[in-house]
Amino acid sequence: MAIRSILTIPDPRLRLVSEPVAPGEDVRALVDDMFETMYDAPGIGLAAVQIGVLKRVVTVDLAKKDEPHQPQVFINPEIITRSDGLSTYEEGCLSIPDVHEDVDRPAVTRVRYADLDGKTHEIDAEGLLATCLQHEIDHLNGVLFIDHISKLKRDRIVKKFTKAAKRAAAE
């Protein structure tokens, strides 16, 4: 197990589409590293691409700080249906540190995914789980939460991180 470093914008890998996990492929070691990295950060969700692994693997834990861990793993997750009704959450992303913006997304989604044993499941996600899974599935498709806010705000955020990365590279 290891804490892995988390990619931040404007790393171009965050814009790539992740590959499906093959039937029978063992991703337990990857999932262990993802939980360790996510709990250390800390975050409520993580997509494998955020640690530079382009596989369709997501970890989630929505437990509060004082509660026991509730680790959830979603392999090859797909949104099957979305509600018409939207809900708004203030989102953040470990790949865009210290930026928080309101995002509207479908309030309820039906999600199909495989577990670590390769068994397929379907769940109706609502509330924070629905938002978090949509945020993570976006990552698997190279989409970031800032793509759901105004272009003006997005451009400002990207510019700030691009400048900071250039300054860091020049040192």
User: Is 133 near ligand GNR (CB under 6 A)?
Assistant: no
User: Is 93 near Ni ion (CB under 5 A)?
Assistant: yes
At 112, the amino acid letter reads: R
Q: Is 136 a catalytic residue?
A: yes
User: Is 47 near ligand GNR (CB under 6 A)?
Assistant: yes
Of 93 and 137, which has the nearer Cβ to Ni ion? Answer: 93
Q: Which does 130 bind (CB under 5 to 8 A by kind): Ni ion, ligand GNR, none?
A: none
Rounded Cα gap, residues 169 and 115, in angstroms = 40
The neighbour count for residue 96, using CB atoms within 10 Å, is 20
Both tokens of 118, joined, read 């390769």
Largest CA distance in the chain: 49
**CB-based contacts of 87, cutoff 8 Å, min separation 6:** 104, 105, 106, 107, 127, 130, 131
Pairing of strands 57-60, 72-82: antiparallel
User: By CB under 5 A, which span of 27-35, 76-84, 85-93, 153-161 interacts with Ni ion?
Assistant: 85-93
Of 33 and 91, which has the nearer Cβ to ligand GNR? Answer: 91
Least distance in angstroms from the C-beta of 128 to ligand GNR: 7
- List contacts with ligand GNR (CB under 6 A): 43-47, 50, 89, 91-95, 131-132, 135-136, 139
